[in-house]
Chain A
Amino acid sequence: EPEVTQTPSHQVTQMGQEVILRCVPISNHLYFYWYRQILGQKVEFLVSFYNNEISEKSEIFDDQFSVERPDGSNFTLKIRSTKLEDSAMYFCASTWDSRSNQPQHFGDGTRLSIL
């Protein structure tokens, strides 16, 4: 079964450094999302992306965050200057149709640890 692939599985970065998290959505999917989960807490929406544009973002997704689809397969989340509170599990998700009854399929996540 096709799946969403995220790399790396674990990223350790010094505070203030830039980090890029990578995702390869399911190949025929058109809508892409990033969520994060601080350890032991609930999963929170960050951003949705369609047709090379952000369609929605949360208040968490400030100017330090950006997303990009640099080619036909990858979907990236960049954090420009990381803070300790950015430590979390970051999940990429995708769906082929944005209609509400279509489930978002999630990747295995990238655990980001900021030192």
Chain B
Amino acid sequence: AQKVTQAQTEISVVEKEDVTLDCVYETRDTTYYLFWYKQPPSGELVFLIRRNSFDEQNEISGRYSWNFQKSTSSFNFTITASQVVDSAVYFCALRRGETQGGSEKLVFGKGTKLTVNP
């Protein structure tokens, strides 16, 4: 079975602090994909990044960076120099690869609510 755990329910930081959101996943598949979505207070789900199980390279996009480690089944998300606009709920999600039965569903974690205070 597929499972995503985001152990941090809520995090509160002061603007300009760095913050890391943890994501640990469980799967028996050899091929899978990981995603991060952002849900701002307005409620929509915004796609941030995807990563496949064969690519363990870390990725940086502006103030955002992602650290994928298969050895620990983790896909952590770091925001550098956080801003008030980063305040949102962040969801990590997992999906099976094409060779693993073809399920298209995303399995989400429970989310981490990040509050960035001015």
Contact = CB atoms under 8 A, between A and B. Distances in A.
Contacts of A99: 98
Contacts of A58: 105
A86 interface: no
A81 interface: no
Contacts of B106: 35, 43, 45, 104
B75 to A, nearest CB: 14
Contact of A106 (B31, B37, B97): B37
Interface string B84-118: 00000001010111100011111111110000000
Given A42-B109, A45-B107, A108-B43, 15 more contacts: A35-B106, A43-B45, A43-B93, A55-B104, A91-B45, A93-B45, A98-B102, A100-B97, A103-B47, A104-B47, A105-B47, A106-B37, A106-B46, A106-B47, A109-B43
B44 A106 contact: yes
A31 B33 CA distance: 17
A56 interface: yes
User: 10 tightest CB-CB pairs across the interface, nearest first?
Assistant: A106-B45, A45-B105, A108-B44, A43-B108, A42-B110, A100-B33, A103-B47, A42-B108, A48-B104, A100-B97
Q: How large is the interface on B (under 10, 10 to 19, 20 to 34, 35 or more residues)?
A: 20 to 34
A51 interface: no
Given A42-B108, A43-B108, A44-B108, A100 B98 contact: yes
Given A42-B111, A44-B108, A100 B95 contact: yes
B4 to A, nearest CB: 8
Interface residues of A, number: 27
A9 to B, nearest CB: 9
5 contacts: A42-B91, A43-B91, A48-B105, A100-B31, A101-B33
Nearest to A110: B43
B52 A108 contact: no
